[in-house]
Amino acid sequence: MDPVAFRHSLKARALEEGFVAMGVCRPDAVPEVPERLRAFLEAGYHGQMGWLADRVTWREDPAALWPEARSIVMLAESYAPDSDPLPLLERRQEGVTSAYARGRDYHDIVKKRLKRVGRWLIDEAARQGETAQIKVFVDTAPVSEKALGQAAGLGWQGKHTNLLSRDWGNWCFLGAIFTTLELPADAPEVDHCGSCRLCQDICPTRAFPEPYRLDARRCISYLTIEHKGPVDEALRPLLGNRIYGCDDCLAVCPWNKFAQAASDLRYDGQATAPLGELAMLDDAGFRARFSGSPIKRIGRDRFVRNVLYAIGNSGKPRLADTARALLSDPDETVAEAARWAIARLDG
């Protein structure tokens, strides 16, 4: 088997499947991860995300996750929205959902696409007399995808800590195929952020203590998705009308002028919805509305908590009646958020 020709054919297959980029690196290509990860954890920047500290050895060393792997194929899939999401933040009586969560759950879509590419890899290797094994990962295992993506030449981790590229901006999902095949590795990408700090300056909660470092405890995506219980009252006004995730630091990146629009229409969906309507969702209504969406995983109570914070920030006194209807909600965090919203709207 000619490894160079095989890799070329593999990339062609990946692009046919809808990925915007593919690169290859070795499992030991990210020696900087342990130091960065431990500094992040020791500072407590992970907040309630205890799973980041679990199996930390695997996160630090991809080779420990599957010792038989000889190459890691990294793939990027675009979910770029068709318009700038920042103006949506002016619609104060509507809740705004992060661009990646407006359609179908990317875990399912990307994993199926990865498996098809992986199946091709196995079959084509067998046709050429090689035996190949694979494992595929999409944000569901202790894999340092962004660091591996940079090592594989897909892009670099910007000052907002997300992977971005000169070719397709920073609206992307990452997937990994670990394989026992020895494939030619790509050169790692270098940093092209320069002196730009737009992503740092736009963050409403100042979640970046310094460039390339994120304090998740102040990040709106973390607060609206991962954080359980009441959000710090000092941070609530800064959430605005964001009810699931935040796109500010991504949306403002100048490299997005090269972003490739999402090729899969299943990522398209409703960007905003009336806060009064969302606040009245019971558990069954929430599950029905967000079936197949990544939003479903946070549950009705945390979602309605976010909606009530947005109601409190709306400046629309008529929404106080909606909040009052939730003062006796069985979930105390929801009831407390209702009290806070009413107090905000009553001045």
- Indicate if 77 and 224 belong to the same structural domain: no
Is 172 labeled as ligand-binding? no
Q: What are phi and psi of 180, to 5 degrees?
A: -80, -5
- Residue 120 structure tokens: 């091709």
- Indicate if 238 and 174 belong to the same structural domain: no
Order of strands across the sheet with 94-97?
A: 242-244, 94-97, 272-274
258: closest CA among 164, 154, 150?
Answer: 164
Quickly state the pLDDT bin for 302 (edges 50, 70, 90). very high
Q: Which residues contact 119 (CB under 8 A, 6 or more apart)?
A: none
Classify residue 96: in a domain, yes or no. no
- Indicate if 166 and 312 belong to the same structural domain: no
144: closest CA among 56, 212, 225?
Answer: 56
Classify residue 71: in a domain, yes or no. yes
Classify residue 264: in a domain, yes or no. no
Quickly state the pLDDT bin for 177 (edges 50, 70, 90). very high
User: From the centroid of its chain, how far is CA 300?
Assistant: 20
Is 246 labeled as ligand-binding? yes
**Count of structural domains within the chain:** 2
Query: Which domain-ending residue is among 179, 194, 217?
Result: 179
Classify residue 57: in a domain, yes or no. yes
Is 174 labeled as ligand-binding? yes
Looking only at the bridges linking them, the beta strands covering 94-97 and 272-274 are antiparallel
CATH code assigned at 144: 3.40.109
Residue at token pair 């195929």: 177
Question: Do residues 254 and 198 make contact, with C-beta atoms less than 8 angstroms apart?
Answer: yes
- Indicate if 138 and 214 belong to the same structural domain: no
Quickly state the pLDDT bin for 267 (edges 50, 70, 90). low
Classify residue 274: in a domain, yes or no. yes
Classify residue 190: in a domain, yes or no. no
- Indicate if 18 and 155 belong to the same structural domain: yes
- Indicate if 17 and 65 belong to the same structural domain: yes
Q: Give the C-alpha separation, 178 to 65, whole Å.
A: 10
- Eight-class DSSP state of 288: H
Query: Which domain-ending residue is among 135, 162, 179?
Result: 179
Is 25 labeled as ligand-binding? no
- Indicate if 160 and 226 belong to the same structural domain: no
Question: Do residues 290 and 299 make contact, with C-beta atoms less than 8 angstroms apart?
Answer: no
- Residue 136's Cβ-count burial label (10 Å; 0-12, 13-18, 19+) is buried
Helices assigned H by DSSP within the chain: 3-16, 33-42, 56-60, 62-65, 106-127, 145-151, 198-202, 220-221, 248-251, 275-279, 283-289, 299-312, 320-324, 332-345
DSSP class per residue in 27-62 = TT--TTHHHHHHHHHHTTTTTT-GGGTTTHHHHH-H
Is 11 labeled as ligand-binding? no
Is 247 labeled as ligand-binding? yes
Least confident of 87-96, 245-254, 266-275: 266-275
- Indicate if 137 and 211 belong to the same structural domain: no
- Indicate if 235 and 275 belong to the same structural domain: yes
Is 263 labeled as ligand-binding? no
Least confident of 5-9, 42-46, 71-75, 140-144: 140-144
Q: Using N-to-C axis directions, what is the helix angle for 106-127 and 3-16, rounded to 10°?
A: 150
- Residue 82's Cβ-count burial label (10 Å; 0-12, 13-18, 19+) is exposed
Residue 262 has pLDDT above 60, yes or no: no
Residue 265 has pLDDT above 60, yes or no: no
Q: Which percentage of the chain shows pLDDT scores above 70?
A: 97
- Give catalytic residue positions: 139
CA dihedral 234, 325, 274, 269 (to 10 degrees): 90
Is 327 labeled as ligand-binding? no
Is 196 labeled as ligand-binding? yes
pLDDT in tens, 58-107: 777 888 889 999 999 999 999 988 889 999 999 999 999 999 999 888 88
- Indicate if 81 and 147 belong to the same structural domain: yes
Query: Which domain-ending residue is among 121, 144, 179?
Result: 179
- Eight-class DSSP state of 302: H
Beta bridge partners of 174: 76
Residue 2 has pLDDT above 70, yes or no: yes
Is 144 labeled as ligand-binding? yes
> What's the pLDDT score for residue 58?
76
**Residues constituting the chain:** 347
Note the pTM of the prediction, 2 decimals.
0.93
Q: Which residues contact 172 (CB under 8 A, 6 or more apart)?
A: 20, 76, 77, 78, 79, 155, 163, 165
Classify residue 256: in a domain, yes or no. no
Residue span of the structural domain in which 38 resides: 3-86+103-179
3-state SS, residue 153: coil
> What's the pLDDT score for residue 15?
95
Q: Using N-to-C axis directions, what is the helix angle for 299-312 and 332-345, rounded to 10°?
A: 10
> What's the pLDDT score for residue 297?
93
> What's the pLDDT score for residue 145?
94
- Indicate if 122 and 227 belong to the same structural domain: no
Is 146 labeled as ligand-binding? yes
* Mean pLDDT taken over the chain: 93
- Indicate if 138 and 232 belong to the same structural domain: no
Q: Give the C-alpha separation, 300 to 278, whole Å.
A: 10
Classify residue 184: in a domain, yes or no. no
Quickly state the pLDDT bin for 345 (edges 50, 70, 90). very high
